[in-house]
Amino acid sequence: MITLVRHRRITVAGIETFYREAGRRDPPVLLLPHGYPCSSYEFRNLMPRLADRWRLIAPDFPGAGYSGTPDDFDYSFDGYAVWLEAFIDAVKVDCFALYLHDFGSPIGARLAIRAPQRVVALIIQNGDIPYEDALGPKYADIEATWSLPRDEMKKVLAEAISEETFKEEFLNDLPPTLADTIPPDLCVGSQ
């Protein structure tokens, strides 16, 4: 049996939000916050495979994928956690298992701390929970922007975020013979 992934839009905390959903309408729910630089697209193949046992919900964070990119959003891990809690309220989810990996780990961990009574399980794969401590030299330029005044920081980050930047992040040291196996959809909406 093939389970279809549904593509939905909802307004969360004033932000136009895109999310994918598959599976049962009744619990259990598996919440899938995505990594960086990604979107819910990264779960497109996983969701149908688990949909016979779970209700799977994968939102695009503000500034990612097909969700809006408001100027006044708090683009910090804490800000994303507050938004993610508002998202689960908006889709009327009371309790859920939480999949944590990559950039979604510190966000999901903060959500679990904010609302521990709602989290029935944590699934952690390659998750950097203390993300700020684990960035390392590759991200020194990004870290330097954190101390800039907000408007200047937003300008510098906006200039650094482009389809080309994300392609470099995904293709990195990949041999050219494999580069065309990376789906270009991963960069959709990344600008």
Residue 102: pLDDT band with limits 50, 70, 90: confident
Tokens for 36, please give them: 């960086």
Check pLDDT > 80 for residue 47: yes
Residue type, 80: Y
Give the Cβ contact number of residue 116 at 10 Å.
Answer: 8
At the topology level, CATH places domain 1-130 in Rossmann fold (3.40.50)
Report DSSP state, residue 130. T
Asked whether residue 104 carries a pLDDT value surpassing 90, the answer given is: no
Residue bearing tokens 């889709």: 91
Quote the pLDDT of residue 11: 98
pLDDT of residue 21: 97
**Burial status of residue 24 (CB atoms within 10 A of its CB: 0-12, 13-18, 19 or more):** middle
Q: Closest Cα partner for 55 from 91, 80, 81?
A: 91
For 117, 133, 144, 164, the CA distances from 33, given in Å and listed in that order, are 18, 20, 26, 23
Peptide bond into 28 cis (omega under 30): yes
DSSP 80-125: HHHHHHHHHHHTT---EEEEEEETHHHHHHHHHHH-GGGEEEEEEE
* Confidence bin at 190 (pLDDT 50/70/90): very low
> What are the boundaries of each domain within the chain?
1-130, 135-191
pLDDT tens-place string over residues 107-127? 999 999 999 999 999 998 887
